[in-house]
């Protein structure tokens, strides 16, 4: 009885969802509209170590569908902050917070129009311990993880925009 009910519920949910207009973003795989659009995005140089990490992550994610002639340029400006906020009774820091914020613009190379202007951000908490080496390593690891997270958010927003863009080639 339970299996029959579960099957019937899944079937009804499938029928209802098909009628609401939901479609997979990456429909068509590597030849789909979004994948081709993402492959046509070139990433401009980004300043600093955080910029290098974010640009590499963006390039990896955008070129996964192959390389095509660039149609868009992605301009990114980063704000990387490392703040101390946990103080012990002897005035030593016990916690740090690393915050990485990005303002990015997707520019159509043909018309030089800004197609998307948005922001993305992420942060991480870091324990400060007696070993300076371990603390510096934790700060760098946090930056690497934040760069990947920011890149993922940017690519998702760009993909959504490219899916909505009526000028995108089909």
Confidence of residue 32 (pLDDT cuts 50, 70, 90): low
Would you call 68 helix, strand, or coil by DSSP? coil
Confidence of residue 13 (pLDDT cuts 50, 70, 90): low
Query: Which helix (DSSP H) or strand (DSSP E) does residue 104 occupy?
Result: strand 93-108
The mean pLDDT of 17-32, rounded to a whole number, is: 53
Q: Give residue-wise pLDDT tens across range 66-122.
A: 667 889 999 999 999 999 887 777 777 888 899 999 999 999 999 999 999 999 999
Cα 7 vs. chain centroid, distance in angstroms?
36
Token pair recorded at residue 36: 């081709």
Q: Which residues contact 92 (CB under 8 A, 6 or more apart)?
A: 128
The mean pLDDT of 21-27, rounded to a whole number, is: 51
Query: Which helix (DSSP H) or strand (DSSP E) does residue 93 occupy?
Result: strand 93-108
DSSP code, position 168: S
Whether residue 34 is predicted with pLDDT greater than 90 in this model: the reply is no
pLDDT > 90 in the chain, percent = 46
Query: Which helix (DSSP H) or strand (DSSP E) does residue 120 occupy?
Result: strand 114-127
Domains, the chain, with CATH or none: 24-164 (3.30.160.150)
Whether residue 25 is predicted with pLDDT greater than 90 in this model: the reply is no
Instruction: Find out whether 72 and 38 touch, Cβ atoms under 8 Å.
Output: no
């Amino acid at each position: 009885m339970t299996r029959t009910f579960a099957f019937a519920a899944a079937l009804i949910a499938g029928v209802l969802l098909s009628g609401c207009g939901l479609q997979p973003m990456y429909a068509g795989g590597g030849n789909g509209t979004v994948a081709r659009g993402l492959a046509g995005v070139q990433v401009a140089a980004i300043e600093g170590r955080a910029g290098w990490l974010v640009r590499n992550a963006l390039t990896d994610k955008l070129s996964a569908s192959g390389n095509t002639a660039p149609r868009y340029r992605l301009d990114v400006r980063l704000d990387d902050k490392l703040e101390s906020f946990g103080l012990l009774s002897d005035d030593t820091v016990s916690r740090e917070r690393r915050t990485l914020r990005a303002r990015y613009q997707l520019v159509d190379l043909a018309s030089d129009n800004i197609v998307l202007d948005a922001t993305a951000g992420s942060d991480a908490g870091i324990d400060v311990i007696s070993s300076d080496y371990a603390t510096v390593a934790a700060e760098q690891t946090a930056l690497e993880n934040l760069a990947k997270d920011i890149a993922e958010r940017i690519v998702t927003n760009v993909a959504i925009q490219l899916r909505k863009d009526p000028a995108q080639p089909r």
